[in-house]
Structure 1
Amino acid sequence: MASYPTTSWSSLPVEMKLAVTNSLDEQDIRALSLVDQSTYSACLPALFKNIRLSSCVALENFLENVPRDYHRFIRSLDICAHSENESLNKNHLVLTELVTSLLVGCRSLEDLTLSIPGSLNYTFVSCFRHLSELKYLAICNAVPEEISPLQVFLHFDFDYSPLTSFRYRSERFVVSIAASIPKLEHLSLDCVSRSVMHAPELHGVYPYVPLVSDDHVIPDHPVLGSDLYLPALLRIPTLRELTIQNTHLGDPRWATEPVACRLEVLDLGSCCHEDEYSNSKCIQRIMTAVGRTVGEFSLTTSVSDTVFAKPTATPMQRLRKLHISPFFPVDDVVDTMANLAGSPIESLSMQCFEDDVVDVCTAIEEFLSLRVERGPNFYGKLSRIDVSITVQDGFIPAIDAESNAERFRATKHLQEFCRDLRLASHFQKASPLGSGRASRGRSSSFAADLRWPSINTSVVDGRSRSMTI
């Protein structure tokens, strides 16, 4: 029997070791890194590729315990800067210093999520110009607004819109950040406050949209100048996906701003300070401005403009995937779908809450009946319908047997209807709101008592202390 030469793990080239570590899960990588110094070094890129810091304490401990040189291995970073210590939440200068000190060393960073209580100091913007590999950016609220409101009103009167300090997230702040990132492709914003500089017409006028009053200190951008209003995001040429939630979208410049980007995915949410009609009008304005390149769209309000129903006139001529939010008014499903008939939609996915399952199934059946009635030119390319039941705040309500049976019959009947029309369909049971968005990679969470293989630590009173490197 022929014998073959054997090769030890330690003699393998670094490239092969890296290939092995990239195929392992987090727990196995940690175990492998303890083999020897050479293996440990080969595991570093995989160990620090995806990092999630779930609190201010975790952020501080990470900076204290992890050598700065290791920051260059981070590709995906999720920072939740909320702290149980309210004094730390209020000190945005401390938060700015902590986050900036981490980001300046993340030269390979591609994906960044910032979940912060309010905003950071405007000096924070400068560090983004050096993140040359960053493509994904999400800026969202750290805690629910009913627990810790994003806006702290300096004064409130029925004759005036509430004004808030700049340290609460301003449109000028987030636009300046986004425009400073050289390769930004995917941008997600949540709970962004309008600036009184760009929306003076909202001050003192119903419905009293909260405005940021002192963000004039943000310096002009090298390209955008002082035009740091939300519609200026359309002038970022690399942008491909835009998500804006819980933000006032009533700026009329959405219709006139020069569009330099080719958006492929658009997800727009409603503003709680405006009524359904105003939200719909604002979203339709943005759809008209950027719709020519959009292939995937998420809808939270009804579409009443019939121009979207005409294949030769609709601005959404490439729309193939339509997602409908659980907050969408169920009574408007049929009319909105009819008004979007001008787009070559192939896939429809709809989220709904448990209480709306029967109504949603009925609405979809009415739409499909209309499709049959109008013939092959009406949604002729539609091939798939998906319905998912979602829950808010992770709470699944109790359902009595009769209601559960009724919902089962409704979903089964809709599935059979789809099958008769030769449409693929899938029904997903209750899942947390927003869980449909898949993570772009596994992440390592850094807690106060977490032992990283990169450092020998001891835990004293729940806090980790660096010993040796």
Structure 2
Amino acid sequence: MWSALPTEMKLAVVGILDSGDIKSLSQVDQNTYTACLPSAFKSVKLGNSAVLQSFVDNVPRSYCRYIHQLDISIDHNASRSVTDLLIAILAAAPCLEEFVLHCTGSALHPKIIPCFGQLDRLERLSLHNNGPDELRPLSERLVVSIAASVPNLKHLSLDRVSRSFMHAPDLRGVFPYVPLVTGDDDIPDHSFLGADLYLPSLLRISTLTELFIRDTHLGDPRWATVPVSCKLQVVDLGSCYHENEAFNSVCIQRIMGAVGKTVDEFSLTTAVSDAAFAKPSVTPLQRLRKLHISPFFPVDSVVDTMSNLAGSPIESLSMQCYEDDVVDVCAALEDFLSVRVERGAGFYEKLARIDVSVTENEGSGPLDSDEDAECKQATKRLQELCRDLRLSTTISKAISPVAASRLARSTGLVPSRWAVPTDGRSRSMTL
């Protein structure tokens, strides 16, 4: 019966199966295996350099045309050129829509840049440095050139990108000694950006709508002067751990001022001290509706920052915190709501909901019974206050990064075994 079904029906059935069932079904016969290929290779995750090399050596290059989501992590044990391995996959993956790469900057050669110019369907790009900044930095010149080469890039996420000495010579030898990249002058001028391969040039990518930058030095003053061609809707800017809170705040406010006119959703890690953001007539964040506050935000700055952002039409506020900060966070939100009541009409009049997401402590163990009871009382008071003010609220548990990693492994979102035919026979290959 199955063999008699038209190919279209087989594809429809395969499309609703999970990865384990697809793998089992693919072993029925050669025709079924062929029907399973598009779903089996739609999302590929390669967990280390050996897995990447095995994929390139064993998976027929033609199968790469089925890849829509690609997630690659590269360690320090590569026995072959990582750049060449990546090029082999990217050059054969014209349908790629999302690419996540965890690697060290030293692992990538600039010759990979032209590959991204051929990926017309790629809309989501994430580049993360998983090596020490001082020894294996990921150059801003390389990152900017790659991002600017993607024809239809909409979402860009960067983590631990290092400033280039070419663009930040003033940081050399100056406290707090921010690590700089040298030797990246071999990255050629870009066809669109020319030699301006510094981070603020990302704002010249007209297709970009979502920008995430974390653990990266954002002190380049050109963030305030570069021509802004994109219309960012979602922005998430993290602090640089080499700089202090005051410096990071100034940097983030500078970028907020440059891109704020189109931003609908913003994630905040530092306090906002510029009172200009509090005035509806002059605030750059004229469309901001959703504000997220990270667990690293200074809790004692919540009220002042919220007051300074009063010029935006914020409808929802969400805060993420660790378990041992719950009491302080709830108290800070209560203080803010008290100020809202005192200020009356016009002060956060569009605010409709407040959400708190609690992440379990890592390394310090669970709360004791007294601490847990105190947290429950604090959240109950906040919920009651929100209810009295007719605000929707949820206080929920968020999964920790460690637990998320375990969940990913248990659900198959990690290297798994695929059946790959070779010379008419089937054999299994570990990815």
TM-score tier after normalising by the smaller chain length: over 0.9
Alignment counterpart, residue 298 of structure 1, candidates 261, 267, 273: 267
Partner of 2:18: 25
**Larger RCO (alpha carbons 8 Å, 6+ apart):** 1
| CA contact 1:128–1:181 (8 Å) conserved in 2 | yes
Query: Cα distance 1:9–1:44, how it changes in 2: closer, same or farther (>3 A)?
Result: same
The answer as to 2:388 corresponding to 1:401 is no
Partner of 2:121: 133
What letter matches 2:359 in structure 1?
Answer: T
1:286 Cα offset (Å): 0.2
CA distance in 2, matches of 1:29, 1:434: 28
1:381 Cα offset (Å): 0.8
Partner of 1:158: none
Alignment counterpart, residue 207 of structure 1, candidates 141, 154, 176: 176
TM-score, normalised with respect to structure 1:
0.86
The answer as to 2:242 corresponding to 1:273 is yes
Task: Kindly report the root-mean-square deviation, in angstroms, between the aligned alpha carbons of the 2 structures.
Answer: 2.3
1:396 Cα offset (Å): 6.4
CA distance in 2, matches of 1:383, 1:133: 37
1:395 Cα offset (Å): 4.5
| CA contact 2:360–2:398 (8 Å) conserved in 1 | yes
The answer as to 2:33 corresponding to 1:52 is no
CA distance in 1, matches of 2:316, 2:394: 11
CA distance in 2, matches of 1:397, 1:213: 42
CA distance in 1, matches of 2:398, 2:198: 38
What letter matches 1:279 in structure 2?
Answer: N
Partner of 1:40: 33
Partner of 2:65: 72
| Count of matched residue positions in the alignment of Structure 1 and Structure 2 | 425
Tell me, which stretches of 5 or more residues in structure 1 are unaligned?
A: 1-7, 143-147, 153-166
| CA contact 2:324–2:367 (8 Å) conserved in 1 | no
| CA contact 1:237–1:262 (8 Å) conserved in 2 | yes
The answer as to 2:303 corresponding to 1:316 is no
Cα deviation 1:321-377 (Å, max 9, x = unaligned)? 100000000000000000001111111110111111100000000001111111121
TM-score, normalised with respect to structure 2:
0.93
1:431 Cα offset (Å): 2.0
3-state SS of 2:138 partner: coil
What letter matches 1:100 in structure 2?
Answer: I
The answer as to 2:185 corresponding to 1:216 is yes
3-state SS of 1:220 partner: coil
Partner of 2:400: 432
Cα deviation 1:167-208 (Å, max 9, x = unaligned)? 631000000000000010000000000011111111122211
What letter matches 1:19 in structure 2?
Answer: A
Question: Within 5 Å, which residues of 2 pair with 1:176-195?
Answer: 176-195=145-164
More displaced stretch, 37-46 vs 66-75: 37-46
CA distance in 1, matches of 2:345, 2:402: 34
Partner of 2:134: 151
| CA contact 2:360–2:366 (8 Å) conserved in 1 | no
| CA contact 1:354–1:430 (8 Å) conserved in 2 | no
Question: Within 5 Å, which residues of 2 pair with 1:284-363?
Answer: 284-363=253-332
Query: Cα distance 1:270–1:362, how it changes in 2: closer, same or farther (>3 A)?
Result: same
1:278 Cα offset (Å): 0.6
CA distance in 1, matches of 2:360, 2:283: 34
1:429 Cα offset (Å): 2.0
Partner of 2:206: 237
3-state SS of 1:322 partner: strand
| CA contact 1:458–1:464 (8 Å) conserved in 2 | no
- Percent identity, aligned pairs only, is 57
CA distance in 1, matches of 2:214, 2:430: 37
| CA contact 1:62–1:446 (8 Å) conserved in 2 | no
Query: Cα distance 1:295–1:250, how it changes in 2: closer, same or farther (>3 A)?
Result: same
Alignment counterpart, residue 413 of structure 1, candidates 381, 387, 392: 381
Moved over 6 A (4+): 434-439
Cα deviation 1:249-276 (Å, max 9, x = unaligned)? 0000000000000101000000011111
3-state SS of 1:216 partner: coil
CA distance in 2, matches of 1:175, 1:325: 26
CA distance in 2, matches of 1:454, 1:401: 57
3-state SS of 1:64 partner: helix
3-state SS of 1:193 partner: strand
Query: Cα distance 1:454–1:342, how it changes in 2: closer, same or farther (>3 A)?
Result: farther
Cα deviation 1:393-446 (Å, max 9, x = unaligned)? x5562211111110110011111111111111111125214989999xx97533
| CA contact 1:255–1:289 (8 Å) conserved in 2 | yes
CA distance in 1, matches of 2:291, 2:252: 15
| CA contact 1:195–1:211 (8 Å) conserved in 2 | yes
Question: Within 5 Å, which residues of 2 pair with 1:82-93?
Answer: 82-83=75-76, 85=77, 88=78
